[in-house]
């Protein structure tokens, strides 16, 4: 096997010889920031292309030019939010933007009409449904506030069922705290 002659490549591309310190210095300059922006945008473009192929929107091949996008959109894709406090229908709708609802429903699996009812808020969701939807979206189930509330509620119920005396202790502590806060509050004025 012949060994590659990299001397010509190193001459054409001096960055091959750069170490971490040189790269850190370079990215601190205006041309370096431009280069970093192009690298980040290329990663964003590739992630978007993969999503489009998975959703059946685009085929493999030459990529069409994309319109300019705000930097916030690029960062949202590269560094997705780990959780939201939005109601489930709004959060799900935002995560599904640009995706085929019919194809997504097949990934969950659920019927497209059921997904439509979930998105409209007409149908409540349970832990298992949220977990299936999260798996199909590629996010953690705790991204959704309803999952966190239901999971914690279930966990508290299990703990209090196994150790009922804890419920009494907790209730006494809450009553005591509530009494302190009402005593320290100024009297209402009329």
Q: Is residue 4 in a domain? A: no
Are residues 103 and 163 part of one domain? yes
Are residues 92 and 177 part of one domain? yes
Query: Tell me, what's the pLDDT at 166?
Result: 83
**pLDDT < 70 regions, the chain:** 1-6, 9-10, 12-16, 58-60, 63, 181-190
Residue 38's domain spans which residues? 14-79
Q: What is the share, in percent, of the chain residues with pLDDT greater than 90?
A: 34
What is the domain count for the chain?
2
Say how far apart CA 97 and CA 101 lie, in whole Å: 9
Are residues 31 and 72 part of one domain? yes
pTM of the model: 0.55
Classified as helix, coil or strand, 130 is helix
Are residues 174 and 105 part of one domain? yes
Are residues 94 and 55 part of one domain? no
The structure tokens listed for 141 are 């189930």
Is there a contact between 78 and 40 (Cβ–Cβ < 8 Å)?
yes
Are residues 69 and 110 part of one domain? no
Domain stops at, among 54, 79, 104:
79
Closest by Cα among 183, 160, 155 to 171: 160
Is there a contact between 56 and 50 (Cβ–Cβ < 8 Å)?
no
Say how far apart CA 88 and CA 164 lie, in whole Å: 32
What's the CA angle centered on 83, arms 79 and 85, to 5 degrees? 135
């Amino acid at each position: 096997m012949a060994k590659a002659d990299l001397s010509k490549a190193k001459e054409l591309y001096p960055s091959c010889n750069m170490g971490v310190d040189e790269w850190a210095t370079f990215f601190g300059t205006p041309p370096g920031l431009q280069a970093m922006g192009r690298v980040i945008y290329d990663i964003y473009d590739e992630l978007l292309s993969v999503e489009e192929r998975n959703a059946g929107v685009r085929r493999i091949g030459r990529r069409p030019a994309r319109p300019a996008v705000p930097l916030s959109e690029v960062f949202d894709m590269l560094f997705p939010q780990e959780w939201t406090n939005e109601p489930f229908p709004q959060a799900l709708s935002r995560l599904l933007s640009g995706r085929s609802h019919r194809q997504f429903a097949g990934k969950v699996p659920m019927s497209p009409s059921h997904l439509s009812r979930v998105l409209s808020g007409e149908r409540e969701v349970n832990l298992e449904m949220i977990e299936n939807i999260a798996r199909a979206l590629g996010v953690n189930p705790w991204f959704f506030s309803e999952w966190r509330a239901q999971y914690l509620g279930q966990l508290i119920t299990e703990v209090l069922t196994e150790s009922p005396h804890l419920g009494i202790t907790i209730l006494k502590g809450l009553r005591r705290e509530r009494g302190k806060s009402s005593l320290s509050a100024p009297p209402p004025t009329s």
